[in-house]
Amino acid sequence: MESKRDKGQETDIAKITSELLKSRTGQFDLESILFLKLRGLGIYDLGCIGECVNLERLDLSGNNITNLAPLASLRLLLVLNLSSNRITNLEAICSCYSLQSLNVAGNLISSIENLHCLQPLRNLENIRLNDNTYNYTNPVCKNSSYRSVLLEMFPSIKVLDGERVVGRGSDLYQLCKDIDDTIKAGMSRNGQMLEVPECKPWVEDGFWDIKRSNNAIIEEAYKQFNDVLQECKLLNNRAAHAISQSERFLSSKSQPKQYSV
């Protein structure tokens, strides 16, 4: 799996150091760092990142990280993006009790058992192991019961793999899923896809064309309306001409008289 790199990033950074953190954030004290983005740098060693104890948002996507142990001290972390790495074990982040959003799509998490360690995270509301946008996934996502088991394990989850499962909007996701399942079930028989018939128009050709009525009363009404419309146009032209003449007359009256000396 290839890591997504930021444009313009050419040099890989093997290990996170205090100098790197300070240069990236402009902070002199690691404890002052609240937001940190180290995406696509080729990092495989988290180094001293655990010293950023007040960190709230952390983006480490697109690296080569395998060991998450330094993250264990980040008790105030709210949002963590670890997508597109080489992670197989998530036990180190089970002590990040404030964590609300976790993205580990595009890693090597192989089974549901690897996710049990996240159950102490009572504030976790958003978890992503599969991302269709970037084609990121995990081996565990191939399990047919993956979704239902995960929702049972984490009853407080509101968003799973980018889809809202509870709260406002969840009914729409469920409706779309039910429709897809119904369509798939109806299009197959004995494991074979049925041929879909060609779509046909609901109405005959010319159904929406405006047809002129033959009713004599309506025809007469059209004629009278056109006559009135022409009279209105004529009166409008006369009124405009009269107004124009009046304006010219008034403007000539308002000009001061000039006397020769």
Residues 202-236: pLDDT tens digits? 777 777 766 655 566 677 777 788 888 888 888 88
Residue 155: per-residue pLDDT: 86
More confidently predicted of 245 and 157: 157
- Give the position of tokens 């404030």: 98
Does the pLDDT value for residue 4 go beyond 70?
no
Residue 167: per-residue pLDDT: 60
Does the pLDDT value for residue 200 go beyond 90?
no
Judge residue 97's burial from the number of C-beta atoms within 10 Å of its C-beta, 0-12 exposed, 13-18 middle, 19 or more buried: middle
More confidently predicted of 148 and 185: 148
Backbone φ and ψ for 94, nearest 5 degrees, come out as -70, -15
Residue 238: per-residue pLDDT: 87
Indicate whether this model's pTM tops 0.75.
no
Structure tokens given for 231: 């009279």
Judge residue 54's burial from the number of C-beta atoms within 10 Å of its C-beta, 0-12 exposed, 13-18 middle, 19 or more buried: middle
Cβ pair 46, 65 in contact under 8 A: yes
> Who's near 62: CB < 8 A, 6+ residues apart?
3, 4, 5, 6, 39, 40, 41, 83, 84, 85
Does the pLDDT value for residue 6 go beyond 70?
no
Mean pLDDT, the chain, rounded, equals: 84
pLDDT above 90: percentage of residues in the chain: 51
Residue 47: per-residue pLDDT: 96
Residue ranges and CATH numbers for the domains of the chain are: 18-170 (3.80.10.10)
